[in-house]
Structures are given as C-alpha cells and as structure tokens.
A and B are shown apart, each in its own frame.
Chain A
C-alpha cells in the first residue's frame, strides 16, 4: 500500500511540467528561386470561419509551393479567400469572410496594405482607368444593400460604392463598361448590370435566367451561362445560355438546357466555350453554341470529387478539386482535347487559378 502511494507521488512532478507542449508547428515554406513571375497561383479558400485560406504557387517546371503568402509575410490570408486579381505590379486577394482585400506585390508577394473600409462580403475585382471595382454582397440579411466598391488604385481606399441588385458576383470590363452578373448572394439573381466605369453610374440591366454563374466576352459578344435554380431550392428552374451584343446589350441568341440540368462555370478561348456539368467538361463553339454536344471529357477518370475551380488558359484546362472540403485539394490539368496531363497537390478547398505573366 505504502509502495503504491509512493509510486503515485512519483507522478506528481508531471503536474508541474508546463513546457512539455510541442513548439508551435512551423509552417515550413520553401520559396521559389527568384520571384513569383511566370507561374500559376492557386487560391485555396480554406474552411469557413477557420481562417486558413492560403496561396499556392506552381512554377514553370511544375514544382508546387504551398502557403507562399504566409511564407513571405509571416501571417495568414484570413478567412475564405474568394478570388484574386492583378493590376500592374500589384495583386489583390479578395477575402470573403474576413471582409478584407489583401494587397501584395504580385512578383514578391510582399504585403502592401489591407483594404477593409466599406468592404462587406467581397467577391470579385476588375480594373479600369486607375480604379478597381469590387462586387460586394453587403449585409447577408439585407437584399438591397449590395454594391460595387470603387477602389482608388493610388492610395487603395474605397472612394465610393455603386448600389446594384442583390448578389453581384463575377464581373468583366469591356469598352469602359462593367458587366456584373447577379448570381445571387443569399437569394437568387437573374440579371446582368451594366455600369459606366467612367461615371460610376448604372446604365442598364440585362435580364437573363436564374443564377448567372459564368460570363465571358468573345468578339464583342457577352456570353452568360445561367445555372438555374437547383431542385433542393423547391423551385427548380431551367439553366440557360445567352449570347448578348455588347453594342446594344440585347440578347442575340439563347439556349435552354433540359430540366434537371445545372451547368456552371464558363471559359472561352479561340472561339470555343467551355463549361462544367456534373463533373463533365463540355465544349461548344461561339458560332454555334446553341447546339448541345456530348461532354468533351469526364473528370471521373481522375476521381475528381467536386469541380470547385475551372479555368481554360493557353492550351490547357485547369480543374480544382475541393474533395470533401475538409482535406487538401488537388489540381488536375488537361489539354484542350481533354487529355489528362498532370496534377498538383495544393491546400484546403482550391477555387481558382491565376497566371502571373
């Protein structure tokens, strides 16, 4: 008995140990030789409220460098990285749930500033004439406070906001006009706002179908792919593809998908349009986009779980697989005929690709 108690007393010193925790796990980041030019950034949005968004870089030789923003700056990007945009030597990283835009040098990734004033649920950014334009959903419970923030690119401040319909998402600039697709924020949108980028005034609204997800411009025409509302909304609607003239903002042609089909994303290269439907990639030509064809290829051969990012660039198709949203994602590269080329292991929930040329 006494022996036992003595044994017990031996464990007492354990209680006094307080340095037995491991040192903070250093995130070891190898930085590529030279700078971040001539390679591809992959934005990993990270888990919602987990503040673990990160930036990966793939150099021209195919080497992958993860957590490069942290590696350069010593702090993380924040909560849910939505998108990224380049202007001159600057890169803007739009942090959706942080309500910030991180401004960095696009070649060194050194942090310049953080824009947070008048940024609320930011989504995407484009540039025109010394200004940046950022779509914002605003307060989630208010459907009438959505806006495009105008950022002065000299001092990185928001100079004014342009009130628009609910859920402004992707936007493009052409001929001094901004085309803003209202995919819908917490509700569902069905229009494209046209904004005069010189006067910051809304000039017109183009009605499309529900949930305009992808917009691209080719040969002075705007192509808008609307996903339609999914069945689980209880109000399923048809997906529809629009071709709109940039001259008069009139719909030239449109094509309705069959019911129960909800395509997403839209990319264009050399008069060929690419989109995604249930993990399959489709290709149609701009001249005859209303004729549906079979899929170009399926990502199932690579066991892609969720196509969460999609980009066509030069001669390749890039697909980001978010997997179960709780493990590191993967990037799959295909050629324009759909032949699998290579894959890269990236970080949590990759959602987009940016080429730093």
Chain B
C-alpha cells in the first residue's frame, strides 16, 4: 500500500502532475467581532465581504459560494469531490482559510478542501486578496478566506430555517437559532446536506457514478460581557463529511473518503483605557480516512491535533496612531497510516503600527518573526499606504513577504518525507485604485508576486516521488471588482462583478502553471420589484493548461456557467418567508474544472427560508 498511497493522495488533491441578502444587493456594514483588532492591518489591501443572502443563494459548499463570487479558480474532481483553490495564480496550499481568526488548513496536506467547508455555518465570509503572512501566518500567499461567526447583542430570540431540495436528490437544510440580551449572546447553526449526485454527463451515455455525499456542520458561538472591560467568548465547530469519490472510469474501483474536523476556541477580551488585550486558546482536530475499496473496511488515515494560543495587545497611542503586538504559539501532534507520531512547536512574534497621518494619508507596517527549530524561521513584513486623493478616489499600495511551511506529509511521510525542507517564500507588491461613488464602487489592482522554493513532490531518476523545494514562480496580473446598484421607481437593479487576468509562470521553463487560466470573470445581476426578486449569476473560466509543458492537446477548455433564480418574499405577521427556485447551469453547458471530470448539466431546485 505504501508505494501508492502518496500518489493516490497527491492525485486526489491534484498535485500529481503522473501521477445579505446578496452580493448583488447592498452589503451591510459588517462588524467582525472575532478579529476586530487585527483586521485593520489589511486596510491597504482589497477585501470582499459575503454575507447571509449571498451565502443562502449559492451552493452550501465554500467552492460553490466563491466560484461565482470571487476571482478564485477551483479545480473540482466532479461536483462535491475534492476541491482545490488557486487564488491569484498560486497553488492550493497558498490560500489560507481562517476560522474565527485561526488557520484551519490541513496540517497533512497544507490546503483546505473547499468542499469540506459548509459556508452556511458562518455569518460572514470575507476574502482578502494578496499576501497576509504577518497576520494570518502560513499559507497566506495568494490570499486568505475568513469564516466568521458574529456575536451580536440585544436582538432577542431569532430562528432561521432554510430548506432546499433539488435535482439528483440534493438536499440542504440549515437551522440557525440565536438569542441575545445586553450581556449575553448565543448562536447555534446546524447544517446538513447531501446528494445522490448521480448526474448524467452531457453528450455521453455515462452518469456520475459513486459520487454520493453527505455532511453535517454544527457551529456554536457564545459571548458574555462580564463587565465593561471584560468579555468572554466561546466558539465551536464540528464538521462530519462522508463522500464517495466519483469514478474516473465506469469500471474503476469504488473509493470513499471521510472527514471529521472539530474546532473550539475560548477568547478573552480585556479593555483598559488605551490598551486592548485579546487572548485566544483553540484546540483543533482533523481526521481523514481514505477507503481504497468501499467494500472493504480497510482505510488509511491521518490525524492531527493542534493547540493554538494567540495573544494580541493593542495600544492606542493617540487618536491617529495604533500600536499592536502579538504572540502566537502552535503545537501540532499528528500521526497517520504513513506518519509516525510527530509533535512540532511553532511560534511567532508580531509587531504592527497603523497611523492616520492626515485625512488623506494612512500607512501601516507589520513585522513578524517566526520562531521554530524545525526549519528556517523567516522574518516577514508587510507595509502599506492608503492615499485618499479625493472623497471618491483613493490609491492603496501594499508590499509584503509571506511564507508557507512544509506539511506533515512533506516532512514526516515514512521513508519519503524530507526534514530538510525550507518554507516557501513569497515577495509581493500591489497597487489598487478605488473609485467609490454613491451607488457604485470599482477597484482595480495590479500585482506582482515572486514565489521561491515551491514545495512539490517530484520523481527522482528511479521514479520515486519525494518532496523538495523546487520551482520558483513569477506571478503577475490584474483584478477588478465592481459593484453597482440602480433604482428606477420600485425596480431595483444590482450588479457585482469580478475579473482576473493571471500570469503564473515557472521561472525556469517560462510555462504557465497548470490549472491557472489567464482569465476568469464572474458577475451577479440582481433585480427586485416589490416582493419579487430575480438574480442571474455568471461565471466564465478561461482555458487552462493541465500539463507542465503546456501541451495544447491536454488543455482544459474554457467554460461559462450561469444560474438563474427567482424569489418571492413575504411576511406572515412579523415573520419573514422567502420562497425561491433556481435553475443551475441554465444553458446546459458541458464543462469540467479538472480534466475528464464532468460537472452537472442544467438542474433545478426549490428553497424556502423562514425567519421567525
């Protein structure tokens, strides 16, 4: 089994090269309690905030949500299967996913499988493009995704039930209950979804075989305001996912994959005059089990338990200047079928400063020193300037040095792991222009990113795969984010669009990285008239190479996918009820985001959202 497991795992994750009601509608002012202190550090970068209704109108998986609402490109091994992101032309391990401020990328693979995150379990999903290593730590090279549970006060008791049912026996149920008074706030979200996922492959006589999945996600957040200075919060999240892996060919052996992840965190906020202290203790567990044959009980697995301690102190030097300092500690304890138990300790020190020099000029600086004995400890930095040249036009400049640490698989895989690996290092810079009018905002960013010592599994002369620091990658591109709205009488129109042009080249060969299209465009158009609303989502993913020599006969075709939804909103007493229907892949486009892994054609669903 040993010989093939790494290849299979790599293949699953696509590394083997053999082997708010709406983004369309106006974004609510979002208060991010969890990381309120840290968020300002990225004031000179571009953020996109996705809240309730965008989350509800999209598929429950984080892949479904972000594919239609961001410049992130996904490689999905068929709907619901392993899904890897590429943010700004980077690798799957170079996007950080943070749960209430804690990095939850897998310690074994280094990446987050975006189909193992149920977006409905969170109140807000925030995307920040570009390097964020100083604040977010490892993986934040292409960008970061923040999954946030909000704690709100004085809103009483609320229930929210969402039920969706559609083609291929796909169901999606989400129940949220929250209660708050002026001292306490509690919120519980229970989500369950699943699908037979046996869609026909367009223009063939084949169906998606063995692709069924289901998962349950439970999110809890609770907060107590002890007094004016002290606040105690508790967050918890459990994800239990079971997937069969759809067959690449009809007679292939049937496999399945289980994920079981838990996250819990205690947070203490202490405010005294000019000082604010934030202390977090988190325990995370991640466990995967891969069954190479579903008819057999045998599985291979990986298990990592992590302890995270974060302490941040902010000092408001004066009205315009904030000084920050922080300490992070991470302890991983992991083992697996092919990994003997290993414990590693990582820590870091962070220093930062934000200064509003004048009404028009703002700058920020962040420094981070990694401290560990396992590999080189890089010194990271970020610096940014924001110039508000007029009340509707501003310029943001940001530069940073970021890193990505080797994974458990890279370091400790029995016989193959390499303990001499260095972290990947990224140097990047970007310039953003923001145009903000009353009913429209447009931001255009140009960036450059040089990634060195890419960690990859590469074959030696005997064909044995081992992890190494190999390639250097040069990435540059442009991104545009647009949102606009218009009212004509009772008719309301909203538009939200993203476009990315991405060049991501291997410095030695000059070839574009695999599965990084040069172009990606998304748009959401919303229309509402009194109680009726309609929305149209559009995605155009450019063609991408699937081989490192950019062979034309292995190009993944470009594709466009569009969804159409209709909603009727009404009130029963004080309760709000929404009924909706959707046609997904409206034009029945034949497409795939991974070579020879077809995605579904046109399919339908109906949903109901009841707020009481």
Instruction: Give me the interface of A with B, judged by CB distance under 8 Å.
Output: 1, 4-5, 8, 11-12, 14-15, 17-18, 20-22, 24-25, 27, 45, 47-52, 66-67, 76, 78-79, 95, 97-100, 116, 119-121, 139-142, 186-187, 230-234, 262, 264, 278-279, 305-308, 322-328, 347-349
Contact = CB atoms under 8 A, between A and B. Distances in A.
A234 B414 CA distance: 8
Contact of A141 (B248, B296, B525): B296
B39 interface: no
B372 interface: no
Interface of B: 1-4, 7-8, 11-12, 16-19, 77, 248-249, 251-253, 292-293, 295-296, 298, 414-416, 437-440, 458-464, 466, 482, 484, 486, 495, 497, 514, 523, 525, 536, 538, 540, 543, 546-549, 551-555, 557-560, 562, 586-587, 589-591, 595-596
B82 to A, nearest CB: 11
B17 A232 contact: no
A126 B7 CA distance: 28
5 contacts: A4-B440, A52-B595, A79-B252, A97-B249, A348-B551
Contacts of B460: 306
B17 A326 contact: yes
Contacts of B549: 323, 326-328
Query: Max chain B CB contacts within 10 Å: which of A11, A14, A27, A48?
Result: A48
Contacts of B459: 305-306, 322, 324-325
B1 A187 contact: yes
Nearest to B465: A325
Given A1-B437, A186-B4, A98 B551 contact: no
A326 B18 contact: yes
B547 A348 contact: yes
Contacts of A141: 1, 292-293, 296, 298
B17 A21 contact: no
Nearest to A187: B1
Contacts of A308: 463
Contacts of A20: 540, 560
A232 B18 contact: no
Nearest to A95: B249
Contacts, number: 184
B463 A322 contact: yes
A305 B596 contact: no
Given A67-B553, A186-B4, A232-B464, A324 B296 contact: no
Nearest to B299: A141
Given A18-B587, A48-B7, A141-B296, A279 B461 contact: yes
Contacts of A52: 554, 595-596
Contacts of B296: 139, 141-142
A116 to B, nearest CB: 5
Given A47-B17, A49-B248, A327 B548 contact: yes
Nearest to A349: B18
A47 B551 CA distance: 14
Contact of A21 (B2, B252, B295, B589): B589
Query: Max chain B CB contacts within 10 Å: which of A119, A279, A325?
Result: A325
Given A22-B557, A49-B11, A278 B461 contact: yes
Nearest to B438: A1
A5 B438 CA distance: 11
A4 B484 CA distance: 10
Contacts of B7: 48
B547 A327 contact: yes
A4 B495 CA distance: 13
Contacts of B462: 230, 262, 264, 278, 306
Given A76-B596, A139-B293, A327-B551, 13 more contacts: A11-B497, A21-B559, A48-B8, A48-B16, A52-B554, A79-B248, A99-B249, A141-B296, A186-B1, A278-B461, A306-B460, A323-B549, A326-B18
A305 B461 contact: yes
B534 to A, nearest CB: 13
A230 B464 contact: yes
B437 A79 contact: no
A326 B548 contact: yes
Contact of B554 (A15, A78, A307, A348): A348
A66 B552 CA distance: 13
Contacts of B495: 8, 11-12
A232 B589 CA distance: 46
Contacts of B497: 11
A50 B595 contact: yes
A15 B538 contact: yes
B484 A306 contact: no
B254 to A, nearest CB: 11
Nearest to B485: A5
Query: Max chain A CB contacts within 10 Å: which of B248, B460, B462, B514?
Result: B462
A142 B591 CA distance: 36
A60 to B, nearest CB: 24
Contact of B249 (A25, A100, A139): A100
Contacts of B19: 47-48, 325, 349
B553 A325 contact: no
A234 B415 contact: yes
Nearest to B553: A27
A14 B552 CA distance: 27
B442 to A, nearest CB: 9
Query: Max chain B CB contacts within 10 Å: which of A18, A66, A279?
Result: A18
B253 A140 contact: yes
Contact of A22 (B543, B553, B596): B543
A47 B249 contact: no
Given A50-B248, A327-B549, A18 B253 contact: no
A15 B24 CA distance: 14
B415 A8 contact: no
Contact of B525 (A12, A18, A233, A322): A12
A79 B249 CA distance: 7
A215 to B, nearest CB: 19
Contacts of A232: 415-416, 464, 466
Contacts of B4: 140, 186
A327 B553 CA distance: 11
Nearest to A304: B461
Contact of B557 (A24, A45, A50): A24
B596 A51 contact: yes
Query: Max chain B CB contacts within 10 Å: which of A20, A47, A328?
Result: A47
A221 to B, nearest CB: 27
B474 to A, nearest CB: 19
Contacts of A12: 495, 525
Query: Max chain A CB contacts within 10 Å: which of B252, B437, B586?
Result: B252
A140 B295 CA distance: 11
A308 B459 CA distance: 11
A113 to B, nearest CB: 13
A18 B466 CA distance: 44
A55 to B, nearest CB: 13
A137 B386 CA distance: 63
B482 A98 contact: no
B548 A98 contact: no
A97 B595 contact: no
Contact of B589 (A18, A79, A278): A18
A305 B536 CA distance: 49
B464 A98 contact: no
Contacts of B553: 25, 27, 66-67, 347
A134 to B, nearest CB: 14
A186 B298 CA distance: 13
Query: Max chain A CB contacts within 10 Å: which of B495, B586, B590?
Result: B495
A112 B483 CA distance: 57
A341 B252 CA distance: 40
Contacts of B536: 15
Contacts of A120: 253
B252 A326 contact: no
B560 to A, nearest CB: 5
A228 to B, nearest CB: 12
A255 B484 CA distance: 78
B292 A140 contact: yes
